[in-house]
Chains A and B, each alone.
Chain A
Amino acid sequence: MYQILSKILFNKEVSPTYYNMGVDCPEIASRAAPGQFIMVRVSNQLDPLLRRPFVIHRIQRANTGSDSQVEILYKVVGKGTEIMSEMKECDEIDLLGPVGNGYRIDTNIRTAVLVGGGIGVAPLLSLAERIISQCSKLKSLILLLGGKGRDDVLCVEEFERLGVEVRVATEDGRLGHRGLVVDLLLDYLESRDYSPGSSTHCFACGPDSMLKEVSKIIAEKGISCQISLESRMACALGACLGCIVRTKSGGDVYKKVCKDGPVFDSNEIIWE
């Protein structure tokens, strides 16, 4: 893990209140894996005080062949992200990362189902890129994407450019299916276009309510599923003990989202 001051390459609004920031940080980019995150210090003032965790959206390769930049896709939700959204190209930003364990990719995957809710789509783009480049037996890669409204459905074009089949649900019905992304998952699993067994894997990121539902549905089908959790945290070093989650293998002891996660097997989590 590195603590470095990085130069911002771009910081653009991709949809109302959603931004994508690219930062030049070879140290982090060359070691980052899909699902890992970065702690961002948005200001050197004392308020806001703590770093903010952001999952890595994309890991970009420079022409030289080494990873050199990462992208952070974020939604403006408070003081910290508001400050971030006002940052400009060439500004410096204080980063700590890459943090945590990313998604584990079994290279024998034939079918991969990605499930994203709102800003939870963020890690799935680099994941899709990694799956495509590493899984030679891959037959089908599908993204089920949900959002409150049209503006909350991000990155569809980027996924389609990779050849990913994208199905969309919005709660207001303005785009795709009217309803929740879990409806799409139920529908997908019921239709016969997935091959049951160990070669189908599911990867999900989104709000806890969505992950809880996805975990339940997946458990019934016996498909392996990895989910990426979000949590409040102060340090991301395993010291503050703020970002804990109860798991089945942990017994009485909580696990730490920063060190043991943020990606967990869905059947590991005991939902509060």
Chain B
Amino acid sequence: MNHEPVELSVNIGGIQLKNPVMTASGTFGYGEEYAPYVGLDKLGAIVVKGISLKPRTGNPPPRIVETTGGMLNSIGLENIGVDRFIGEKLPYLRDSGATIIVNIFGSSIEEYGDVANKLDDTHGISGLEINISCPNVKEGGIIFGSDSHMAFEVVSFVRQSTKLPLIVKLSPHVTDITEIARSVQDAGADAISLINTIRGMAIDIETKTPKLANITGGLSGPAIKPIALRMVWEVAKVTEIPVIGVGGIMNAYDALEFIIAGASAIQVGTANFINPKATVDILSGIEKYLGDHRIGDIKSLIGTLSCE
């Protein structure tokens, strides 16, 4: 069946994406690792592994364990730091023609601001994603993402530190996800991505010890998709800014559910580990669905959920 070309581009808070398929931070390295499998310039955007002001060693091993339909990780935000990222990783990514979004985090509000400020002066970055939701580190991360006042403070501060479009990545660990979504919107966020991983654990019954050295870790993969989908739907209903759906997207059908629920774009995470070509497979699946359903523009599918 031949189809008319479909319009796939979306605008996420000032970032123009060729299509709605992005990578989830921490699952796609700095892009380079996946270049043999994916044309990096073919994706909507590449969100790189979270970057902090100084390099971080991360948590001791074991850091990963598979659970039913998912995986727990406790990497602990290991990264090379913003200076080495700019010097060593960014040039390759920029030359690949990819749309680059840099995920950032800090252990204090000032540190978030400092990282944002350094990247603000750097050529080739289309936007920042602020991680206020990592479940695996004590300082930073989730402390800012589980309290709407703290979230407001950190996003406001980063807003003043950069002119780049800001996406704020939310944690599912809140009583009311819409409250924190409104806070970051009021603080000047241009878009919201959700959800980060959900804290979980696994135990070895022979040794009676945790399977992760960090005891707990963040659950990702298909097991968390229904939770992510519900939260995206709730947030999209009450915010003015675009929402990016993340959580257990393994194929185009999963991605389409998020878009119908109100996501303007989606991020593919754990699926990259299993199928390095997952992003491009999902993109062509979305394209086929639009063609089959004679939808000329993806934007007309966003938030079309009918609950009647």
Contact = CB atoms under 8 A, between A and B. Distances in A.
Interface in A219-247: 231-235, 237-245
Given A237-B276, A238-B33, A49 B70 contact: yes
Contacts of B122: none
Interface in B77-121: 78
A28 to B, nearest CB: 14
Contacts of A1: 36
Interface stretch (A40-48, A149-157, A173-181, A189-197): A40-48
Contacts of A57: none
A47 B68 contact: yes
B276 A50 contact: no
A51 B274 contact: yes
A240 B75 CA distance: 8
A49 B69 contact: yes
B204 to A, nearest CB: 12
Contacts of B221: 46, 49
Interface string B262-278: 00000000101111110
Q: Is the interface of A mostly helix, strand, loop or mixed?
A: loop
B272 A235 contact: yes
Nearest to A47: B69
B34 A240 contact: no
A50 B274 CA distance: 6
Q: Is the interface of B mostly helix, strand, loop or mixed?
A: loop
B94 to A, nearest CB: 19
Nearest to A51: B274
B64 A245 contact: no
Interface residues of B, number: 36
A96 interface: yes
Contacts of B70: 49
Contacts, number: 95
Given A51-B274, A239-B34, A254 B57 contact: yes
Interface string B255-290: 000000000000000101111110000000000000
Interface residues of A, number: 28
A158 interface: no
B27 interface: yes
B254 to A, nearest CB: 10
Interface in A25-42: 41
B277 A50 contact: no
Interface in B20-70: 26-29, 33-34, 36-37, 49, 55, 57-58, 60-66, 68-70
A46 B222 contact: yes
A234 B61 contact: no
